[in-house]
Amino acid sequence: MGEVKKHDTPMMDELKSGPWPSFVDDIYNYAEKHKKQACFDILGQMELSYKNKETHWKHGGIVGVFGYGGGVIGRYSDQQDKFPAIWAFHTVRVNQPAAKWYHSSALRKLCDLWDHRGSGIMNLHGSTGDIILLGTVTEQLEYIFYDLTHQLKMDLGGSGSNLRTPECCMGMSRCEWSCIDTQDITYELTMHFQDELHRPAFPYKFKIKVSGCPNDCVAAIARADFSIIGTWRDDIKIDQEAVRAYVAGELKPNAGAHSDRDWGPFDIKKEVIDLCPTKCMFWDEGQKKLYINNKECNRCMHCINVMPEALRPGDDRGAVILMGAKAPILEGAQLSTVIVPFMRLEPPYDNLKNLLYKVWDYWMENGKNRERLGETIQRVGLNRFIVDVLGLKPLPQHVKEPRSNPYIFWKEEEVEGGWTRDVAEFRKRHPA
Amino acid sequence: MDKETLKQKILEVMQKKAGSGGKSKIYLKDLQREIPEANPRDIKNAANELVREGKLEYFSTGSTVMYGLPGVGMGLEAGVEKPKEE
Ligand code: HEM
Ligand code: SF4
Ligand code: SF4
């Protein structure tokens, strides 16, 4: 490799002066150590973009690995003369292990692979959840794919109009609140839907994310077309002894998470009872006893988060299935909406898979180009989607709150006498 | 419709679209619209098989994927020529 050339980047250099470690330092250190022209060029091009206030990346292309319709995203510089080392700078998405646990030796191997065959720049993790390997040329793609699959036993992730790499919170591997085995569900769905993951199947992208409890640490409700969130149906388990210990200041609220400042003594009324969104809790000061009206509880997790030693999710566990979240491309951002209030999730998760097939069959046939599931639901109407498409019964849980979406739509056959009326008969009672 | 007939039909649609100076890249949905008598999932499977056989190719922006006939329309490197090695 010949001499490498650093570009003049005053605006990039300014970013190094902030209080946090800067990616500019990181990339320059790496570029100098490994003599990588691509890294110098990428900062050079970024400087130019800051100056011109426009991007110099072109996108789109036929790049990919044989047999896969996703996982590689073609990117090209439109400034090849100035920055020849990044004329092609493709992104490779790598399917992360469920809950993102690695052995450090796997990460080392991955870094070696990328030093050797790519720019050396990577991003753990992209907002999709995948490991993102940033910047390589077309000629390297098949080698990268071979090394990944044969040496690291890793696979490419999803991109394009495919199922995207399913993602989950750490679930039962570390978190006592997990009501479902998020990692197992994610692994099972990933393996079962390999074809949908690697080959385009849909009108647009489709994301599945799994959180073990309503704290929703992977933000499934905001980021997934199909959000699976653990919940329970029976009562919150209360250890009254531990509740009294919190009230007496013997246990730290929120497991000590807010102990960097003195917030004064713990006040169960102010910090728990009054913040319960459904106002279903009661602290009897005289009896020193906590009551919860579980019928009204909406499983928001607040009280459990504040007093983890005293309160636990119940034992009748499963998940709520929500659908339709998306970022604002058409119509603005949207959260997923409840479709199945409670589903028991046990291997091999056939109930879950069947629901997915039902949704996909409809969306593949009726979704428009680049229309996310949430937009399709909006277009046909939530009621029609629930009743006609999925064949489910409308339930109170589908209604966000009274008077916000309570409109009940009838079909003609459900109305006695139908839509048509006898005008002559009507006029007898209501003269014109 | 059997798979081979469907594959033939897909290629015909692609050629027709590309031929009349029209689109060289089309969405899966466009194929489905042109072949309404086939099931969308069968069309998907047939089109993906044609890619494996080298008769179609994918064109991806990263957020969506389109299908094209190899060598027709916007090319391998999105119209970018690789600079010559010095
Ligand atoms: C001056 C006359 C009117 C007044 C003061 C009035 C008042 C209201 C109010 C307060 C609401 C909100 C109800 C709620 O959600 O709690 C409403 C909703 C509605 N009104 Fe009227 N209304 C009038 C005329 C009409 C007429 C003539 C029609 C139909 C021909 C109509 C059709 C509707 C419909 C369909 C809604 C529900 C709209 C939605 O939720 O998007 N209104 N109206
Ligand atoms: S979503 Fe719930 S179960 Fe999953 S890591 Fe967060 S708190 Fe734990
Ligand atoms: S989980 Fe939320 S709604 Fe339920 S009792 Fe606790 S604070 Fe109230």
For residue range A283-319, what is the model confidence (pLDDT) as tens digits? 999 999 999 999 999 999 999 999 999 999 999 999 9
Would the CB atoms of B29 and A64 count as touching at under 8 Å? no
Please give the torsion angle defined by the CA atoms of residues A257, A260, A266 and A271, in that order, rounded to the nearest 10 degrees: -60
Residues in chain B: 86
Structure tokens at A405: 């979406």
Give residues 41 to 80 of B whose Cβ lies within 8 Å of A. 41, 44, 48, 51-52, 57-65, 68, 74-78, 80
Would the CB atoms of A160 and B29 count as touching at under 8 Å? no
Distance separating alpha carbons of residues A320 and A197, to the nearest angstrom: 23
Cis peptide before A150 (omega within 30 of 0): no
Q: State residue A332's pLDDT score.
A: 81
- Nearest chain B Cα distance for residue A404, angstroms: 33
**Structure-model confidence comparison of residues A178 and A403, the more confident one:** A178
Would the CB atoms of B75 and A62 count as touching at under 8 Å? yes
- Identify the residue whose C-alpha is closest to ligand 2 atom 6: A217
Q: State residue A126's pLDDT score.
A: 80
How many Å from the N-terminal Cα to the C-terminal Cα in chain B? 54
Distance separating alpha carbons of residues B27 and B14, to the nearest angstrom: 11
Would the CB atoms of B82 and A88 count as touching at under 8 Å? yes
Ligand 2 atom nearest to A211, measured from its CA = 1
Q: Which residues of A touch B44 (CB under 8 A)?
A: 199-201, 364
Mean pLDDT to the nearest integer, A229-256: 97
Closest chain B residue to the Cα of A128, Cα to Cα: B63
Please name the member of A69, A87, A88 whose beta carbon is closest to the beta carbon of B65: A69
Structure tokens at A257: 């998470």
Please name the member of B29, B48, B63 whose beta carbon is closest to the beta carbon of A160: B63
Q: State residue B79's pLDDT score.
A: 42
Q: State residue A168's pLDDT score.
A: 97
Q: Which residues of A touch B59 (CB under 8 A)?
A: 60-62
- Nearest chain B Cα distance for residue A411, angstroms: 28
Would the CB atoms of B48 and A70 count as touching at under 8 Å? no
Distance separating alpha carbons of residues A214 and A217, to the nearest angstrom: 8
Q: State residue A2's pLDDT score.
A: 64
Distance separating alpha carbons of residues A342 and B80, to the nearest angstrom: 52
Answer yes or no: is pLDDT of B11 > 80: yes
pLDDT digits (tens, 9 = 90+) for A157-209: 999 999 999 999 999 999 999 999 999 999 999 999 999 999 999 999 999 99
Chain A residues contacting B, CB < 8 Å? 58-64, 66-67, 69-70, 72-76, 80-81, 84, 87-88, 91, 138, 159-162, 195, 199-205, 361, 364-365, 367-370
How many Å from the N-terminal Cα to the C-terminal Cα in chain A? 93
Q: Which residues contact B79 (CB under 8 A, 6 or more apart)?
A: none
Instruction: Quote the ligand 3 centre to A276 CA distance (angstroms).
Output: 5
Q: Coil, strand, or helix at residue A88? A: strand
**Other Cβ atoms closer than 10 A to A112:** 13
Q: Is the ipTM of this structure higher than 0.90?
A: no
Distance separating alpha carbons of residues B33 and A210, to the nearest angstrom: 34
Instruction: Quote the ligand 1 centre to A407 CA distance (angstroms).
Output: 12
pLDDT digits (tens, 9 = 90+) for B21-78: 777 888 888 898 999 999 999 999 999 999 999 999 888 877 888 888 887 776 544 4
A404 falls in which pLDDT band (50, 70, 90)? low
Q: Which residues contact A41 (CB under 8 A, 6 or more apart)?
A: A7, A77, A82, A83, A84, A85, A86
Would the CB atoms of B60 and A160 count as touching at under 8 Å? yes
Q: Which residues of A touch B23 (CB under 8 A)?
A: none
List of domains in chain A: 10-150 (3.30.70.2500), 167-233+316-414 (3.30.413.10), 237-312 (3.30.70.20)
List of domains in chain B: 3-68 (1.10.10.10)
* Percentage of residues in chain A having pLDDT higher than 90: 81
Closest chain A residue to the Cα of B68, Cα to Cα: A62
Would the CB atoms of A199 and B48 count as touching at under 8 Å? yes
Instruction: Quote the ligand 1 centre to A33 CA distance (angstroms).
Output: 69
Ligand 3 atom nearest to A300, measured from its CA = 2
Q: State residue A225's pLDDT score.
A: 97
Handedness of CA A100, A105, A107, A110 (dihedral sign): negative
Residues lining ligand 3, Cβ inside 6 A: A 276-278, 280-281, 292, 297-303
Answer yes or no: is pLDDT of A331 > 90: no
Would the CB atoms of A84 and B83 count as touching at under 8 Å? yes
Is pTM, for the whole model, over 0.80?
A: no
Distance separating alpha carbons of residues A85 and A80, to the nearest angstrom: 8
Distance separating alpha carbons of residues B82 and A291, to the nearest angstrom: 71
Please give the torsion angle defined by the CA atoms of residues A27, A28, A32 and A33, in that order, rounded to the nearest 10 degrees: -50
- Looking at the CA of A406, name the nearest ligand: 1
> Could you tell me if A127 and A162 are in contact, meaning their C-beta atoms sit under 8 angstroms apart?
no
A363 falls in which pLDDT band (50, 70, 90)? very high
- Nearest chain A Cα distance for residue B14, angstroms: 16
Answer yes or no: is pLDDT of B82 > 50: no
Q: State residue A407's pLDDT score.
A: 59
Mean pLDDT to the nearest integer, A409-421: 81
Picking from A308, A184, A328, A284, the residue whose alpha carbon sits closest to that of residue A236 is A308
Closest chain B residue to the Cα of A200, Cα to Cα: B65
- Identify the residue whose C-alpha is closest to ligand 2 atom 7: A215
DSSP E strands, A200-336:
208-211, 226-232, 237-238, 281-284, 289-292, 311-312, 317-323
Instruction: Quote the ligand 3 centre to A297 CA distance (angstroms).
Output: 5
Closest chain B residue to the Cα of A71, Cα to Cα: B62
**Structure-model confidence comparison of residues A62 and A385, the more confident one:** A385
**Residue pairs spanning A and B at CB distance below 8 A:** 112
> Could you tell me if B65 and B76 are in contact, meaning their C-beta atoms sit under 8 angstroms apart?
no
> Alpha helices of A160-277 — where are they, by DSSP H?
182-192, 194-198, 220-223, 240-247, 268-271
Q: Coil, strand, or helix at residue A65? A: coil
Q: State residue A8's pLDDT score.
A: 96
> Could you tell me if B67 and B53 are in contact, meaning their C-beta atoms sit under 8 angstroms apart?
no
pLDDT digits (tens, 9 = 90+) for A31-49: 999 999 999 999 999 999 9
For ligand 2, whether the C-beta of A169 sits within 6 Å is yes
Q: State residue B80's pLDDT score.
A: 43
Please name the member of A75, A91, A161 whose beta carbon is closest to the beta carbon of B64: A161
Answer yes or no: is pLDDT of B13 > 70: yes
- Identify the residue whose C-alpha is closest to ligand 3 atom 5: A297
Q: What is the mean pLDDT of chain A?
A: 93
- A418 burial via Cβ count (<10 Å: 0-12, 13-18, 19+): exposed
**Structure-model confidence comparison of residues A88 and A401, the more confident one:** A88
